[in-house]
Homo-oligomer: A and B are copies of this chain.
Amino acid sequence: MIDRLIEKIKSTNAPIVVGLDPMLKFVPEHILQKAFREYGETPEGAAEAVWQYNKGIVDAIYDLIPAVKPQIAMYEQFGIPGMEVFQRTVAYCKEKGLVVIGDVKRGDIGSTSEAYAAAHLGKVRVGSKICSGFDEDFATVNPYLGSDGVRPFLKVCDEEKKGIFVLVKTSNPSSGEFQDRLVDGRPLYELVGEKVAEWGKECMGTGSYSRVGAVVGATYPEQGRILRRIMPETFILVPGYGAQGGKGADLVHFFNEDGLGAIVNSSRGIIAAYRQEQYARFGEQGYADAARAAVEAMREDIAAALDRR
């Protein structure tokens, strides 16, 4: 799947992943009201609104981008109907040819991580049959529990030719509280990065990149430069562009000389673009077209920054 992701990044010329993090306040009123008329002001109604909103966006942008990243928390908050729409969104995006990164940030001790890996990337045996759960292409993984929390994911990645992105240096303001603490004079995120590189070597794709990627926030470009060097074969998923403050020029350090090695996420910068002044002309009704325009602008911003380096 890492090979397929790279292929799609090349063919779209867009190292971009769109975060499908549908907060209800982003969903245009006409979609919301229609869903509430059909299903009431219920979790079912909320889930239906999220689904229609997602579908509109995906239909408008799927040809421009290689991948989407649905954030499962935004679905999980609506209970079962929310989880159903998470699953439906994953399946629909795959039908549209998109690579799907499940932003689930799971991680636990061995046997439990096995179950999470099965839930999101693998399969589970039921009697004589083999079934799958949510079946994303990639999942994000939290490293705090160490190797035996991560290895079950590696096993499934090998079996299914899928991948993970391990949290290394996250984009949020307080990520430094633990991640930046110095261990033998070096920040913890560097040690996690080294571990990611090590796990990655056990789990290479057919090209020069591993099935084990890393998450490093666009809001920390200097750390990105260092981690890029520590993990040369690791694809970096870069959140924090746009709404969180990351800019095109901050991104160049995350890429390798081959122009690959990073994929930049934007969530509300794309899916709620219609609420920004520069896309206000599209109006609420045109939210999907606004998303398309925002993807095009993001693609140009990143290409220009990479050209300038």
Q: Cβ of A73 and Cβ of B112 under 8 Å apart?
A: yes
Q: How far is the CB of A67 from chain B (nearest CB, A)?
A: 18
CB < 8 Å neighbour of A41 from B118, B129, B149 = B129
A55 at the binding interface (Cβ < 8 Å): no
CB distance from A100 to the nearest CB of B (A): 15
Q: Which segment, of A74-82, A200-208, A256-264, A274-282, faces chain B?
A: A74-82
On chain B, the residues within 8 Å of A83 by CB distance are 80, 83
A132 contacts B by Cβ under 8 Å: yes
A120-131 vs B: 1/0 string, CB under 8 Å? Answer: 100011111101
Closest to A180 in B: B146
Chain B residues near A179 (CB-CB < 8 A): 144, 146
Q: By the criterion CB–CB under 8 Å, are A172 and B188 in contact?
A: no
Cβ of A31 under 8 Å from chain B: no
- Give the size of the chain A interface in residues (CB under 8 angstroms): 73
* Binary interface encoding of chain A residues 184-199 relative to chain B, with 1 for a CB under 8 A from any of its CBs, else 0: 1000100110010000
> Which of chain B's residues has its CB closest to A151's CB?
B174
Q: How far is the CA of A188 from the CA of B144 in the complex (A)?
A: 11
Task: Give the distance in Å from the alpha carbon of A42 to the alpha carbon of B182 in the complex.
Answer: 49
In the bound assembly, the distance between CA atoms of A76 and B120 in angstroms comes to: 8
A116 within 8 A of B: yes
User: CB of A28 within 8 A of chain B?
Assistant: no
Closest to A145 in B: B170
A32, A82, A170: most-surrounded residue (chain B CB, <10 A): A170
A176 interface residue (CB < 8 Å to B): yes
Q: Does A4 touch B at the CB level, under 8 Å?
A: no
Query: Can you give 21 A-B contacts (C-beta < 8 A)?
Result: A23-B111, A24-B125, A41-B127, A42-B126, A42-B129, A46-B131, A74-B112, A76-B115, A76-B116, A76-B133, A77-B118, A78-B119, A79-B133, A79-B134, A80-B84, A82-B133, A83-B83, A144-B167, A146-B179, A149-B174, A183-B183
